[in-house]
Amino acid sequence: PGTAVAAFIVLYIMLCFFAMLSLLTGMVNSSFMASQKGEEQRKLNEIEDHRAHFADALTSVFSSSEQCKSGYLSRAEFKAVLETHPAVLQQMKRLDVDTTVDELMHLFDGLGKIPDVQEMLRSIEVAGHVGALRQDLTDQHQEALAKSAGQTSDLRMELAAA
């Protein structure tokens, strides 16, 4: 009996040791995961801040180089901005947009082939108003049905009483 008890005690101690080791590993792993998630969030916030600052700076550069102040850049003005401000391309590379002046000019040329954006926005706006109008009509229809059902039940009660 003494050997069997000693064997169970050793087995119990090993089981407790592995349970404690598992708990300790889980706590360390959880701590590392929380730290990594915090670091990823910080990096995302940093990139988002950089994008916002870059957008402001880019808007400023484009508006200062616009000659006719119409709110639009001509192809020549756009190309001049890209060539005279190499920092624009450097900042784009920092944001993982690896491109060249020629590629950007190709994209600029493609903008003229896009259908009228204002017309598209108006269509979306009209579709939104139609959807809201449908919802209003549906709500009014349901209210009318509920009112009609109430009047019908009142009429039934009157007939039943008579």
Nearest to 137 by CA among 148, 145, 126, 125: 145
For residue range 47-73, list pLDDT tens digits in order: 888 888 888 887 887 777 766 666 777
Mean pLDDT for the chain overall = 77
* pTM score: 0.44
| Closest by CA position to 86, among listed 104, 71, 67, 68 | 104
Report residue 39 as tokens.
């670091």
Residue scoring higher pLDDT (5 or 1): 5
Confidence check: pLDDT of 98 > 70: yes
Q: Which of these, 117, 108, 53, 106, lies nearest to 75 by C-alpha position? A: 108
Q: What is the rounded average pLDDT of the residues 35-40?
A: 93
Three-class SS of the chain: CHHHHHHHHHHHHHHHHHHHHHHHHHHHHHHHHHHHHHHHHHHHHHHHHHHHHHHHHHHHHHHHHCCCCCCCCCHHHHHHHHHHCHHHHHHHHHCCCCCCHHHHHHHHHHHCCCCCHHHHHHHHHHHHHHHHHHHHHHHHHHHHHHHHHHHHHHHHHHHHHC
First and final C-alpha spacing in the chain = 95
Q: Which two tokens stand for residue 99?
A: 């491109």
User: Highest-confidence range of 36-40, 89-93, 94-98, 109-113, by mean pLDDT?
Assistant: 36-40
